[in-house]
Amino acid sequence: MWARAGPGWWPGRTLAAWASRSAGLGPPGALPASALGPAAEPRAPDRPFSSADRQEKIDMSRFPVENTRNFSIIAHVDHGKSTLADRFLELTGAIDKTKNNKQVLDKLQVERERGITVKAQTASLFYNCEGKQYLLNLIDTPGHVDFSYEVSRSLSACQGVLLVVDANEGIQAQTVANFFLAFEAQLSVIPVINKIDLKNADPERVEKQIEKVFDIPSDECIKISAKLGTNVESVLQAVIKRIPPPKAHRKNSLRALVFDSTYDQYRGVIANVALFDGVVSKGDKIVSAHTQKTYEVNEVGVLNPNEQPAYKLYAGQVGYLIAGMKDVTEAQIGDTLYLHKQPVEPLPGFKSAKPMVFAGVYPIDQSEYNNLKNAIEKLTLNDSSVTVHRDSSLALGAGWRLGFLGLLHMEVFNQRLEQEYNASVILTTPTVPYKAVLSSAKLIKVTVVSQHSREN
Closest to 329 measured CA to CA, from 286, 371, 378? 378
Taking a C-beta distance cutoff of 8 angstroms, is the pair 1, 215 a contact? yes
Could you tell me which of 238, 177, 166 has the C-alpha nearest to residue 206? Answer: 166
Residue 314 has phi, psi (to 5 degrees) of: -120, 160
The pLDDT of residue 162 is 95
Annotated binding-site ranges: 75-82, 140-144, 194-197
Q: Each residue's pLDDT tens digit in the chain (456 positions)?
A: 344 444 333 333 333 333 333 333 443 344 544 455 544 333 333 444 434 344 688 999 989 999 999 899 999 988 988 899 999 999 988 888 876 767 788 778 888 888 888 888 888 889 998 888 999 988 878 878 878 888 877 787 788 999 999 999 999 999 999 999 899 889 999 999 999 999 999 999 999 999 999 999 999 999 999 999 999 999 999 999 999 998 888 999 999 988 888 888 889 899 888 898 999 999 999 999 988 999 999 999 998 888 899 999 999 888 899 998 887 778 788 889 999 999 898 888 777 788 889 999 999 999 999 999 999 998 988 888 899 999 988 889 999 999 999 999 999 999 999 999 999 899 999 988 888 888 888 888 777 666 665 544
The answer to whether the CB of 425 falls within 8 A of the CB of 417 is yes
Of 23, 31, 38, 35, nearest to 52 (Cα)? 31
Strand, helix or coil at 112? helix
pLDDT at 449: 63
- In 3D space, the residue among 280, 281, 275, 289 whose CA is nearest the CA of residue 345 turns out to be 289
Beta bridge partners of 408: none
Residue 240 is predicted with a pLDDT of 94
Is the dihedral angle over the CA atoms 88, 94, 97, 100 positive or is it negative? Answer: negative
Residue 98 CB contacts under 8 Å (≥ 6 apart), including other chains: none
Q: What is the pLDDT of residue 410?
A: 94
pTM of this structure = 0.78
Hey, which residues does 398 pair with through a beta bridge? Answer: 392
Contacts 24+ apart (CB under 8 A), 374-377: 375/417, 375/421, 375/423, 376/400, 376/402, 376/417, 377/328, 377/329
What type of residue is 345? Answer: E
pLDDT at site 452: 60
- Strand order across the 357-363 sheet: 387-393, 397-404, 357-363, 425-427
Q: How far apart are CA 130 and CA 113, in angstroms?
A: 40
CA distance 83 to 238: 18
| Number of neighbours of residue 452 by Cβ within 10 angstroms | 13
Q: Which amino acid is residue 116, in one-letter code?
A: I
> According to the model, what pLDDT value does residue 51 have?
41
Residue stretches of the annotated binding site for GTP: 75-82, 140-144, 194-197
pLDDT at 55: 61
CB 134 within 8 A of CB 240: yes
Q: In order of start, what are the domains of the chain with their CATH numbers? A: 65-242 (3.40.50.300), 255-339 (2.40.30.10), 357-427 (3.30.70.870)
φ/ψ of 296, rounded to 5, equals -105, 130
Query: Contact at 8 Å (CB) between 143 and 174?
Result: yes
pLDDT value of position 38 = 43
The pLDDT value recorded for residue 74 is 92
d(CA 110, CA 117) in angstroms, rounded, equals 9
In 291-437, the DSSP E strands lie at 294-296, 299-303, 307-309, 312-314, 318-322, 336-339, 357-363, 387-393, 397-404, 425-427, 434-437
Q: What is the pLDDT of residue 35?
A: 53
CA R_g for the chain = 23
Predicted pLDDT at 446: 76
Coil, helix or strand at residue 62:
helix
Look up residue 62 and give its amino acid.
Answer: R
pLDDT of the residue at 220 = 94
Residue pair 340/287 in contact (Cβ under 8 Å)? The answer is yes
**Residue 106: which residues within 8 A CB-CB, separation 6 or more?**
82, 112, 117, 121, 140
